[in-house]
Amino acid sequence: MNIHSFLADDDQQSNQYKYVLNTTSKLKEQRKSDRSKCSFGDSDLRSCALRLAQQGDYAEAIALLTQLICRHPHNAVDYNNRGLIYFQSGERQKALSDYNTALKLNPYLASAYNNRANYYAACGELAVALADYDQAIDLKPHHVRAWINRGITWRDLGQYEVAIENFEVALLFGQLEGHIWAERGRTYHLWGDWNCAIADYRRALTQLPYMDNDKDIPGCRLRLQLENWLDELLSQSAS
């Protein structure tokens, strides 16, 4: 299993790209000078934490979210977002603790169930992961990421037909088509339907970003993985 295939959620407020970069720079300078007197608002901190995490500056992103949690200790979204960044940085137990806290504060937060399910899937606890994906979808039936992730998990269990059904439902919402076609193609590939796999891989390549796109790092990673899958399939079909 490749944990990069699983799509995480974040509930942070995203602003314009240049604005976030500028605010991130200002925040880092202000935190260096006097962390206790930061005057930036909550939405600024959330946006900057997201951007810092995308840049790989996990420690700074976690510090900003911890500051938000100190301001608002009962905000489930901030715990969920910090858990996501802990997970991305490899601190899985801290991530799980934050997801559990988020769900204790707000048991209806679908994104936290999806993120916690990703944790369980990455740990190989697929049945537990499926239960959390189910809960996310029950709470938010149009939760595309949860549909995709649940499809990946069923595929990992060898239940290819059920996996395909999940991807086909996800396509109905008109979002993340590149991700869905890539994962459905991989499922057809493993299932032995190479014609459908190649068709889906090629559809996905028209949607997924190239590696020089730093605004969609998960999409770039999936594109690289998809190119490897396609090369593997074409070499198999030629032999």
> Which CATH number goes with the domain that contains 172?
1.25.40.10
Looking at the fold, whether 119 and 163 belong to one and the same domain comes out as: no
| Domain contains 169 | yes
Looking at the fold, whether 160 and 110 belong to one and the same domain comes out as: no
Mean pLDDT, residues 117-139 taken together: 98
Cβ atoms within 10 Å of 25's Cβ, excluding its own: 11
Looking at the fold, whether 184 and 111 belong to one and the same domain comes out as: no
Interatomic CA distance for residues 145 and 9, integer angstroms: 8
| Domain contains 192 | yes
| Domain contains 2 | no
Looking at the fold, whether 40 and 67 belong to one and the same domain comes out as: yes
Least confident of 36-45, 130-139, 159-168: 36-45
What is the pLDDT, as a whole number, of residue 144? 98
Per the structure block, which two tokens stand in for 222? Answer: 């999936």
What is the pLDDT, as a whole number, of residue 12? 45
Looking at the fold, whether 153 and 110 belong to one and the same domain comes out as: no
Looking at the fold, whether 162 and 101 belong to one and the same domain comes out as: no
Looking at the fold, whether 227 and 150 belong to one and the same domain comes out as: yes
What is the pLDDT, as a whole number, of residue 9? 82
Mean pLDDT, residues 224-238 taken together: 91
What is the pLDDT, as a whole number, of residue 34? 42
The domain of 185 spans 142-239
Per the structure block, which two tokens stand in for 163? Answer: 């996996």
Looking at the fold, whether 13 and 120 belong to one and the same domain comes out as: yes
Interatomic CA distance for residues 186 and 32, integer angstroms: 46
Looking at the fold, whether 216 and 116 belong to one and the same domain comes out as: no
| Domain contains 129 | no
Tens of pLDDT, residues 50-103 = 889 988 899 999 999 999 999 999 999 999 999 999 999 999 999 999 999 999
| Domain contains 133 | no
| Domain contains 135 | no
Looking at the fold, whether 117 and 17 belong to one and the same domain comes out as: yes
Non-local (6+) Cβ contacts of 35 within 8 A are 67
Confidence of residue 160 (pLDDT cuts 50, 70, 90): very high
Share of the chain above pLDDT 70, in %: 84
Q: Among residues 23, 22, 29, which one has the least CA distance to residue 46?
A: 23
Looking at the fold, whether 148 and 205 belong to one and the same domain comes out as: yes
Interatomic CA distance for residues 184 and 219, integer angstroms: 15
- In one-letter notation, the amino acid at residue 234 is L
What is the pLDDT, as a whole number, of residue 16? 36
What is the pLDDT, as a whole number, of residue 6? 81
Size of the chain in residues = 239
Interatomic CA distance for residues 133 and 149, integer angstroms: 8
Interatomic CA distance for residues 10 and 22, integer angstroms: 21
Q: What is the pTM of this model?
A: 0.85
| Domain contains 178 | yes
Number of domains within the chain: 2
Domain boundary among 74, 90, 124: 124
Contacts 24+ apart (CB under 8 A), 63-71: 63/31, 64/27, 67/35, 67/38, 68/42, 71/42
| Domain contains 105 | yes
Domain boundary among 97, 124, 151: 124
Task: Say if residue 2's pLDDT is above 60.
Answer: no
Looking at the fold, whether 116 and 164 belong to one and the same domain comes out as: no
What is the pLDDT, as a whole number, of residue 207? 93
